[in-house]
Structure 1
Amino acid sequence: MLLSVHDLHAGYGRAEVLSGLNLELPAGQVVTVIGPNGAGKSTTLNALMGLLPFRGRVMFDGVDLADSTLEERVMLGLALVPEKRELFGTMPVEDNLILGGWRARKLRMADWRAQIDHVYELFPRLKERRAQLAGTLSGGERQMLAVGRALMSRPKLLMLDEPSLGLAPLVVKEVFQIIDRLRAQGVSILLVEQNARAALEVADYAYVLETGEIGLHGPARELAGDPRVIETYLGASRVASSSAATRQESPL
């Protein structure tokens, strides 16, 4: 198991947001955590990345992260694309990518610069804008750059915090196509997402987080058909369309 989280507690000051979270992520899979605002999705990623203190047991690639610093977690192969992307807006696109290769350079990975070509292959628009300041990019382009910068470290686990937030529907579709392509390439991904429909379509396994605890979990396709998930996260229209399809297919 690449990532194993047991009885995770984390929060802000005295306010506990996560109260005993458990989840697992096998290597090479996309695991998603869905849920409403305030459920603790971003808190989960921040705790795993070392941005928040936590109680509980977190094992990553055989290493206990309890006493690991943020830098140590990066070196182990964790990479987080935060909700706000946190780009260097006054620097060109390519310089942002080069900074993302810090782990690869420190580990003296051979041909680490070749990873830039890989990122440009995934995101051709970034190559077109490689000399453009990051702060002048569109919202979708900034998200692509944030993901590309994280990939520059050649992470063992890529964590994505609300990658569809604030993006136009066509751009959201493109972002999730990239996630699917990364999975096909063997990249392990922990996806935190409020767009439950898109997340469940691209994920292998899913957890539903409700007020700091896991309410449901299972294979993503099974959860996508669970009446509780449909009603709460996918909308009543999904139920109506499914019923209509059943009536049309019935020989009676």
Structure 2
Amino acid sequence: MATELLLQVSDLRAGYGRAEVLTGLNLQLPKGQVVTVIGPNGAGKSTLLNALMGVLPSRGRVLFDGQDLADASLEDRVMMGLALVPEKRELFTTMPVEDNLVLGGYRAMRLRVPNWRGELERVYSLFPRLKERRTQLAGTLSGGERQMLAVGRALMSGPKLLMLDEPSLGLAPLVVRDIFSIISRLRQDGVSILLVEQNARAALQVADHGYVLETGEIRLEGPAAQLADDPRVIDTYLGAKKSTA
């Protein structure tokens, strides 16, 4: 039985002004899986997420949970279940941690989801540090804690698809390990995730399927474990063949 697709992207083209960054991108994401897009800086990874979220105008066809997003606004996409954690996190820094999380529940509140505030406890179970700091201003958090808050806020909406833009950027190695551990746990819980990441090794370890994006085009794709063993990926992104120990 074929896995049901949550996201189907065909011939996606997007950019800034007259500069086209994505030049006919095709991508699929099955429900309940983690799909990663890796590639060098400037390849178009963030452009892809911003186009899918409706932040950037785009051309091509995007089907999300069977619905065509051609005429869907940013707010429409949020209400349909798309959630983006941007690279810069974009928290409300002068507000407490818990208020940031509650604001993330906007979609659930609008949809009148019963006891939507109960999702707070799930977020706190994933990120115990946020519970410890729930009354602290978001602007006083460390980089890792801010990333946890950004992910937690997105989860408060009950998204069908969680899109993560460079979640490891600027974080210490131990914190990066924690973030990817959370991504693995979310996958086990059935959350569908589109992960854009420069840390190719960590991304391929946590993902089901991967795409290599270079200069706006998909150069390689396949099961994540297969890409991790591909000599082209090893030479360009991993530096050395992973140990089999």
Q: TM-score range by the shorter chain?
A: over 0.9
The unaligned stretches of length 5 or more in structure 2 are none
Aligned partner (choices 57, 61, 75) of residue 57 of structure 1? 61
Asked if 1:111 is matched to 2:115, the reply is: yes
Kindly provide the amino acid, as one letter, of the partner of residue 44 in structure 1: L
Asked if 1:129 is matched to 2:136, the reply is: no
Corresponding residue SS for 1:113: helix
Corresponding residue SS for 1:190: strand
Asked if 1:238 is matched to 2:241, the reply is: yes
Kindly provide the amino acid, as one letter, of the partner of residue 208 in structure 2: D
1:9-66 deviation digits (Å, cap 9, x = unpaired): 0000000000000000000000000000010000000000000000000000011001
2:220 is aligned to 216
Corresponding residue SS for 2:116: coil
| CA-CA distance at 1:224 after TM superposition | 0.2
Alignment partners' CA distance in 1, 2:76 and 2:67: 11
Q: TM-score, normalised by structure 1?
A: 0.94
**Identity across the alignment (%):** 78
Output the aligned Cα RMSD.
Answer: 0.9
1:125-164 deviation digits (Å, cap 9, x = unpaired): 0000000000000000000000000000000000000000
Counterpart contact for 2:229–2:241, Cα < 8 Å: no
Asked if 1:26 is matched to 2:30, the reply is: yes
- Runs ≥4 in structure 1, deviation > 4 angstroms? none
Matches within 5 A, 1:143-182: 143-182=147-186
Corresponding residue SS for 1:2: strand
Alignment partners' CA distance in 2, 1:54 and 1:70: 13
Higher Cα radius of gyration? 1
The unaligned stretches of length 5 or more in structure 1 are 246-252
Q: TM-score, normalised by structure 2?
A: 0.97
1:89 is aligned to 93
1:102 is aligned to 106
Kindly provide the amino acid, as one letter, of the partner of residue 195 in structure 1: N
Counterpart contact for 2:62–2:69, Cα < 8 Å: yes
1:45 is aligned to 49
Aligned partner (choices 223, 230, 234) of residue 226 of structure 1? 230
Count, aligned residues: 241
Alignment partners' CA distance in 2, 1:135 and 1:13: 33
| CA-CA distance at 1:238 after TM superposition | 2.5
